[in-house]
Structure 1
C-alpha cells in the first residue's frame, strides 16, 4: 500500500544543515594552509542528523584530529509572525574536548591561530 504524505508536513522535518560556499572557502583555506605546513593530510565532510561536519586528519588511517561542526539551533521569530532563517552554532572538537563554540564560523576557526600551549609538568 502507498502512504499519502502532505508536502508541507514533510518539509517541516529535520532541517538539512550544510556549509555554505563562503564557509567552505574558509574551511578549505585553513585546510590548505595546514597541508602546506605538513600538519594535515586528509579531510572528510559529513551531513546527518541536522549537523554538518568537516573533519581533518593527519593521516587517512587515523581518527580525525579536529572536527568542525555546524548545527541548527532552530528557527527564530522576528516578531512579525514570520520565521527567520535558523541560527547556527559552530563547534571545534578534538577527541571529546570542545576547543571553541560560537555563532560564527570565523570566530571558532580563530582557535587555530592561537599559539599551542603544552600541558603537563612545568
Structure 2
C-alpha cells in the first residue's frame, strides 16, 4: 500500500496570490459604504487569484456586478494595475493609482447626493 503525501502550502505558495493592501481595501470599502448609504449598491464580493484581486459591487445580490474594481500587478508597467469595469464588462477607467480609477464612481456619488 503506497501513501500519497499532499504538501502543506508554503508561505511562498500563498504569496503568489494577489491581494489588496489595507489602505487600498479601506479606500474601496469607504466608497462602498457611501454608495450603500446613497442606495446605489447593496452587496459586494471579493475574489483573490494568482493574477488579480477583484472587488465587485452589486445593486442586488442576484445579478451581475454593477462595477468591478480589479488590481492586476502584472500590468503595472503598461496601462496600470488598476481597472474599473462596468456592468456589461466594458473598461470604464484604467490607471496606476487607485484614486484615479475610483474617481468616476465618486463623481457619480456626488451627483446622487446633489439630486
TM-score by length of 2: 0.74
Deviation at 1:63, TM superposition (A): 0.7
Q: Choose the corresponding residue for 2:81, options 82, 85, 89.
A: 89
Higher strand share: 1
> What RMSD, in angstroms, separates the aligned Cα atoms of the two structures?
3.2
1:28 match: 29
Is the partner of 2:29 in helix, strand or coil? helix
2:61 match: 60
Written as runs of structure 1 = structure 2, the 5 A alignment for 1:4-19 is 11=12, 15-19=16-20
Return 26-35 or 42-51, whichever deviates more.
Answer: 42-51
- Distance, in Å, in 1 between the alignment partners of 2:60 and 2:84 is 19
Unmatched segments (≥5 aa) in structure 2? 110-115
Cα-to-partner distance string for 1:75-121 (whole Å, 9 max, x where unaligned):
98xxxxxxxxxxx60000012210010011111001113359xxxxx
Higher helix share: 2
Unmatched segments (≥5 aa) in structure 1? 77-87, 117-122
Bigger radius of gyration = 1
Q: Choose the corresponding residue for 2:94, options 86, 94, 101.
A: 101
